[in-house]
């Protein structure tokens, strides 16, 4: 359960970001778009990769309506394809050479794909998009982050991580597929485990870079309409419909935990933030519950090793 504090962080509390370069995935929609807009409004240069250039350019046009002089770069990234992740990382190295990034926000995700789908790499689509792709992207871009205080890697997880289990004998849902409480929850628990383990490794290496995490609670975005469909998700849809008028928030407020994790001077190394209200569904950002599985050191080590094998990317932290 979230810890209540007296601080009520809003987008107005985002510190000035002039001179900082942020990269945020999934910024053409939902909370990613709102986070990108606020970072731009506060002076950050923002790189917005999307699945198509049209989607990235459309988001840029919408941000420019509010922030006409924003420095924004579109790009193509499909996190469900390791070749696309590598191509995008190469784009960054070419266009933003050296240690050039201040913020990497792993926000993009999919939820509750009704039937098991495999990616071009042969992995279950939610696990690949929400976890394997972001892990590979972070590992490939890590050498390009500025090794200085203020540099952060943010992972957007979900409160459903609390219901998740890393099933090493069913990682790709090869034995059975439960869209929401199986595959989606597993992918989001993997995100949280990654975020926590990354901080431990950064600390051990003496790195000034922080790994922080966030979840938006229940924010009304395209996630609900693009994801859960089909009979087996009826229960989830009924629950969501009941909670929506009582305990949901808009995408702008859903982005606050992400903005807090990315920019607040009050974060702690490895800090994980979510909404303050009932069941962490809505409210101002506060430290969020980290479930026991996300604190399991042996599980984190095993998952990291397995992920390097699955992605073919070695994550070197020095």
Please state the closest distance from residue 295 (CB atom) to ligand NAP, in A. 20
Catalytic annotation on 184?
yes
- Paired strand residues for 285: 275
Q: Residue 214, interface with ligand NAP (CB under 6 A)?
A: no
Residue ranges in 123-142 that form contacts with ligand NAP under rule CB under 6 A: 129
Look up residue 199 and give its two tokens.
């901080």
Please state the closest distance from residue 288 (CB atom) to ligand NAP, in A. 11
- Taking CA 26 as the corner, what is the angle to CA 190 and CA 150, rounded to the nearest 5 degrees? 75
Which of 50/193 has CB closer to ligand NAP?
A: 50
Taking CB under 6 A as the rule, which mask of x and - marks residues 226-255 in contact with ligand NAP? x---------------------------x-
Buried b / exposed e over 144-180, threshold 16 CB at 10 Å, is bbbeeeebbbbbbbbbbbbbbebeeebbbbeeebbbb
Among 31, 36, 56, 132, binds ligand NAP (CB under 6 A): 31
Please state the closest distance from residue 6 (CB atom) to ligand NAP, in A. 25
How many of the other CB atoms lie within 10 Å of CB of 279? 16
C-beta separation of 155 from 211 below 8 A: yes
State the residue for tokens 């929609």: 29
Q: Residue 32, interface with ligand NAP (CB under 6 A)?
A: yes
Please tell me the distance from the alpha carbon of residue 193 to that of residue 64, in angstroms, as a whole number. 36
Q: Residue 179, interface with ligand NAP (CB under 6 A)?
A: no
Taking CB atoms, the residue at the shortest distance from ligand NAP is 30
Please state the closest distance from residue 232 (CB atom) to ligand NAP, in A. 19
Q: Residue 78, interface with ligand NAP (CB under 6 A)?
A: yes
Please tell me the distance from the alpha carbon of residue 94 to that of residue 107, in angstroms, as a whole number. 23
Please tell me the distance from the alpha carbon of residue 115 to that of residue 113, in angstroms, as a whole number. 6
Q: Residue 13, interface with ligand NAP (CB under 6 A)?
A: no
Please state the closest distance from residue 120 (CB atom) to ligand NAP, in A. 11
Residue ranges in 139-158 that form contacts with ligand NAP under rule CB under 6 A: 156, 158
Long-range contacts of residues 200-207, Cβ cutoff 8 Å, at least 24 apart: 200/270, 200/297, 200/300, 201/317, 202/269, 202/317, 203/269, 203/270, 205/317, 205/318, 207/147, 207/317
Q: Residue 212, interface with ligand NAP (CB under 6 A)?
A: no
Q: Residue 183, interface with ligand NAP (CB under 6 A)?
A: no
Identify the active-site residue in 184, 260, 272, 284: 184
Please state the closest distance from residue 269 (CB atom) to ligand NAP, in A. 22
User: Which residues make Cβ contacts (< 8 Å) with residue 67, sequence separation at least 6?
Assistant: 37, 40, 41
Which of 59/303 has CB closer to ligand NAP?
A: 59
Burial class (CB in 10 A: 0-12, 13-18, 19+), 143: middle
Distances from the Cα of 260 to the Cα of 44, 266, 293, angstroms: 15, 9, 24
Look up residue 207 and give its two tokens.
């790195």
Q: Residue 111, interface with ligand NAP (CB under 6 A)?
A: yes
Please state the closest distance from residue 229 (CB atom) to ligand NAP, in A. 14
Catalytic positions are 184
Chain residues that interact with ligand NAP, rule: CB under 6 A: 25-26, 28-32, 50-51, 55, 77-80, 107-111, 129, 156, 158, 215-216, 218-219, 221-223, 226, 254
């Amino acid at each position: 359960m979230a810890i209540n504090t007296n601080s009520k962080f809003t987008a107005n509390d985002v510190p000035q970001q002039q001179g900082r370069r942020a990269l945020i995935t999934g910024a053409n929609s939902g909370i990613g778009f709102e986070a990108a807009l606020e970072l731009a409004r506060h002076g950050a240069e923002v790189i917005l990769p999307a699945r198509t250039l049209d989607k990235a350019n459309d988001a840029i046009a919408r941000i420019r309506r509010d922030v006409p002089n924003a420095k924004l770069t579109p790009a193509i990234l499909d996190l469900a394809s390791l070749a696309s992740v590598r191509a995008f990382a190469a784009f960054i190295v070419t266009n933003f050479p050296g240690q050039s990034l201040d913020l990497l926000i792993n926000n993009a995700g999919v939820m509750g794909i009704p039937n098991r789908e495999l990616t071009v790499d042969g992995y279950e689509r939610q696990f690949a998009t929400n976890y394997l792709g972001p892990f590979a992207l972070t590992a490939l871009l890590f050498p390009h982050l500025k090794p200085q205080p203020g540099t952060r890697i943010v992972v957007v997880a979900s409160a459903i991580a609390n219901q998740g289990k890393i099933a090493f004998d069913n990682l790709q849902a090869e034995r059975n597929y439960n869209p929401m409480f199986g595959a989606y929850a597993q992918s989001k628990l993997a995100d949280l485990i990654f975020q926590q383990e990354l901080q431990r490794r950064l600390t051990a290496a003496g790195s000034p870079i922080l790994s922080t995490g966030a979840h938006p609670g229940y924010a009304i975005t395209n996630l609900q309409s693009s994801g859960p469909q089909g009979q087996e998700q009826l229960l989830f849809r009924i629950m969501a419909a009941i909670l929506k008028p009582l305990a949901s928030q808009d995408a702008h407020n859903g982005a606050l935990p992400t903005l807090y994790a990315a920019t607040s001077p009050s974060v702690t190394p490895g800090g994980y933030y979510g909404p303050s209200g009932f069941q962490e569904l809505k409210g101002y950002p506060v430290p969020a519950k980290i479930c026991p599985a996300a604190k399991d050191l042996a599980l984190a080590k095993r998952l990291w090793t397995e992920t390097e094998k699955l992605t073919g990317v070695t994550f070197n932290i020095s």
